[in-house]
A and B are shown apart, each in its own frame.
Chain A
Amino acid sequence: MMNEESVFFSRVLTELTLSFHIIYATIGVGVPLMIMIAQWVGIKKNDEHYILLARRWARGFVITVAVGVVTGTAIGMQLSLLWPNFMELAGNIIALPLFMETFAFFFEAIFLGIYLYTWDRFENQKKHLLLLIPVAVGASFSAVFITIVNAFMNAPQGFDVLNGELVNISPLLAMFNPAMPTKVAHVVVTAYMTSAFVLAAIAAFRLLKGSNHIYHKKALFLTMKVGLVFSIATAIIGDFSGKYLAEYQPEKLAAAEWHFETEESAPLILYGILDDGEVKYAIEIPFALSILAHFNPTAEVIGLDQFPADETPPLYIHYLFDIMVTIGMSMVVLSGLYWLGTKLKWAFVNSKWYRWLIVLGGPASIIAIEAGWWLAEVGRQPWILRGIMRVEDAATTSPHVDIMLILFAGLYLVLGIGSIVVLTRMFRKNPVEQEIEDRHVEKGGDIL
């Protein structure tokens, strides 16, 4: 009885922590790359606007990193506090990437500290650019390693179970599991994409709010261009992920697609609602699911009928799938039109309504990230380790999880509000026009 409660609250607390953490973590993975690109473009074009762009992003980045670090520490420890049985098992098989993640994080932390405090210590800006490489590499590799752990939970391998004991453990085989390539690629690329669109949203917002400075226009064009590249990459990798699911985790794909009966030439269902087991108002694209799953319009796609009822994920993940894909595709179109429109001098891409769409694109990309993670995580219910360990067998037996949930919820509220207040204050007090002017007064001076 008591433990049922602990399982429930452990799930809620983990979901809350992760949902909050991934907002900051995604920015933490993507923004260093954007800073690096801006700094590099600035040096190459000898244009101080881009250098300034890198600096201003970096300053805001510190705030998001801080929240990312502390919530990351929280989830790291919560894994053992809330899921002790899972971690005991996982420690035997998948500790290696967890351990390597802390190294990547360490590496990033050291160089971020150096980067932030050496703005004007190097005469040569190129040297300063070199410091950003370990920051961006460390950030991306933390994402790679931690996603490997998650991929293992979806496709456990690298060990045998003999009479309830784990034998023949191979840490490398566990790391390079079948889910790993698509998961890692999708996570890293969407982080770059989301960061680019968040930064684009800021630039577009400044342009809408009266500033007409060339700096914001450069920022907008750069971020939209980078965002376009990564959103196309996201779509391609997303397609591979679908093929992975069809092959290795068909119950997740079937639940996400409301594909109940195993059949050939399966149609793809977009949108719609589920009413008493009946799909209504959906758009059906013939053959598309077979193409998505097997690259063959007549291929057979396994449906939910092949799985016992207590091993199928909840069906609401279909909505999450819709949200994720819709936003992703809209962002490809939005950034593609912007890029094309700027090249061909179409007036509408600089109109107010289009800029408002770009502003919306930032938060929408974050919603897509959240929806994607919920889809991936809820989609492997009821397992914590697919096919090996069920969620209810992994949770803590401690009866105090509900109080901890309240405490952590309070913490995230404070951190969320705090970071927003500090970030807005930081940039409102010091708009870019002011900063450019100051820099000229001081002549290459130390105003940051």
Chain B
Amino acid sequence: MTLEIIGIFVLWTFLFGYLVVASIDFGAGFFNAYSLLTGKQRILTNIIQRYLSPVWEVTNVFLVFFFVGIIGFFPKTAFYYGTTLLVPASIALILLAIRGSYYAFETYGSRGHKGYSFMYGLAGLFIPAALSIVLTISEGGFVHMINESPTLDYEALFTSPLTWSIVVLSLSSVLYISSVFLTWYANKAGDLDATRLMRKYALIWALPTIITAGGIMVELRSHNLEHYENMLDIWWAFALSLLLFIGTVWLLWSKRSYGLAFVLLGGQFLIAFFSYGFAHLPYLLYPHLTIYDSFTNEAMAIALIVAFIAGLALLIPSLYLLLRLFLFNKDYVRGKKENNHA
């Protein structure tokens, strides 16, 4: 393995981590708002808050890690993506800022503002949409070099079916991942009503997720043939991912092993995400930028990898402790100590 591959592998892993934790977060916010609207908030709010409160800050770090890391390993991305993404990324940032800070304001300050809950829920859907534009742009055809500086063609971007398919996929997979996770979490908490409701949402959102995922592959054929063909070369990985998807839905349908269902879902997205990324190689931005021509110097690459390993040695035990204390702690999950937060 070359250093370039290690670098992109590390970053892709963190992006995957962000995808999962942020999906749970964004989806939970949406379901919370939706349950308020339909008068079901008594069922869901407790479960959602108990999970989100200790981890909301950690979620954000995954994203920061990714965008700082990519500048470190592939400094040229700053030039291409930094220039083109000013508007979509700024909008995502503003939404993230409102969402993150107001979560804290609400949870630790004063509770129960309805209008805010709706805004919170909606912002959670706009953020993945704004961020997923990066995936569309990376397929090529939307960035043109004008006077030696990359410029984003907004018209082409907004009229492309690929853009909208990726947006729909990001939305439905956010809701799907989140609902499967919350089904499991609610079940662990022994909260039957919440389990029932979340299971229903999970089954509803499974279908659009898999349909758009398939649709995007077809669209790529006309948009970026090279990527499409690379994906066909590893069709078996996508088939495996599909099998895991079927497994998750089947477990949910037959109301058993929700924990295993979430693990299968994780496997499904992991395989699909890495296969998609692998097929995209060597391009970071088709056809302007590959991982080879944008890679940092060797001294920095080695320093970053050393820092990364040292950092993980510190983080993994800490994350494990966090999960032990909250996610896998029966008393905490069931809310035995209702009032023990700040």
Contacts and interface: CB of A to CB of B under 8 A. Distances in A.
Interface of A: 55, 58-59, 62-63, 65-67, 69-74, 76-78, 80-85, 87-93, 95-96, 98-103, 105-107, 109-114, 116-121, 134, 166, 169-172, 396-398, 400-401, 403-404, 407-408, 411, 414-415, 418-419, 422-423, 425-426, 446-448
Nearest to A172: B303
Contacts of A65: 57, 104
A90 B69 CA distance: 13
B319 interface: yes
A103 B58 CA distance: 11
B325 interface: yes
Interface of B: 53-55, 57-58, 60-61, 63-65, 67-69, 71-76, 78-87, 89-91, 93-94, 96-98, 100-105, 108-110, 147, 149, 151, 296-297, 299-300, 303-304, 307-308, 311, 314-315, 318-319, 321-322, 325-326, 332, 337, 339-342
A80 B81 contact: yes
B104 A396 contact: no
A169 B315 contact: no
Nearest to B71: A91
Contacts, number: 244
B150 to A, nearest CB: 9
Contact of B325 (A106, A114, A422): A114
B71 A110 contact: no
Contacts of B322: 110, 113-114
A117 B341 contact: yes
A400 to B, nearest CB: 5
Contacts of B57: 65-66, 69, 109, 112-113
Most buried by B among A172, A403, A418: A418
A110 B315 contact: yes
A198 B26 CA distance: 35
A95 to B, nearest CB: 3
Nearest to A422: B109
B105 A91 contact: no
A95 B301 CA distance: 9
A166 B76 CA distance: 14
Given A62-B342, A69-B60, A69-B100, A87 B89 contact: no
A426 B300 contact: no
Contact of A407 (B71, B94, B303, B314): B94
A95 B64 CA distance: 13
Nearest to B62: A106
Contacts of B321: 110, 114
